[in-house]
Amino acid sequence: MKFLRILQEIGTGIGDPLLATSKDRAITAFERAVVSLLPDATQEEIPGYYTLKTDLSFSTNPADLKGLQMLRVKAIYLPPGTAINATVTYLEPGDLPNMAGIESLQPTVNDVFIHRVGNNLHAIVSLTPIVVLATQAFHLLYIKDYQTGTRIADEYDFSSAANHVFSSSFLIKCIDLAIQSLVGGREKQ
């Protein structure tokens, strides 16, 4: 679906199909909708935003993520075919305070716990881990961050074979959410 068509759909939903007065608002509402829906979207919905980094290293712990423009970690795992029998678990920030002093929540020799703080990933292992962080590469599957405010050409096609960054179903969700936010905003004014 081309960007202009998306904007026209939003305009139609708010009573301005020709975008005579609402194009800028439609762009902003669409961007907000994408940002809102992106973190929980499936790989089928946003194939152009799922990215696999195959050389994540903890040779210096924490691993630096600054160049990745990462919105959300989806999975971290050992590469397929790795002979090490270890479990890699991504922890949310709320999981960490419960670990201190509770032995059953701490990593075993087979565990690698990973958590994110800002632009860094920290690995937590037991005192005698089977995974050597300094030499082991990990795979990191993540969703890229959406860059709002970037000028998109009206003819840009989000779901063409060449681009295919968003599925049609995801774009429809974004259009519906954008319309809801604009209609809701108008009712409050």
* Backbone angles phi and psi of 2, in degrees to 5: -80, 150
Mean residue pLDDT of the chain comes to 89
Q: What long-range pairs does 107-110 form, CB within 8 A, spacing at least 24?
A: 110/85, 110/86
Domain ranges of the chain: 3-46+146-188, 50-144
CA angle 28, 31, 32 (to 5 degrees): 85
* Number of other residues whose CB lies within 10 A of the CB of residue 30: 25
Assign residue 155 a region (left: φ > 0; alpha: ψ between -120 and 50; beta: otherwise). alpha
User: Quick one: pLDDT at residue 187?
Assistant: 42
Residue 8 has pLDDT above 90, yes or no: yes
- The DSSP call for residue 146 is P
Summarize pLDDT for 9-49 with one digit per residue, the tens.
Answer: 999 999 999 999 999 999 999 999 999 999 999 999 999 89
Summarize pLDDT for 116-158 with one digit per residue, the tens.
Answer: 998 899 999 998 999 989 899 999 999 998 877 778 889 988 8
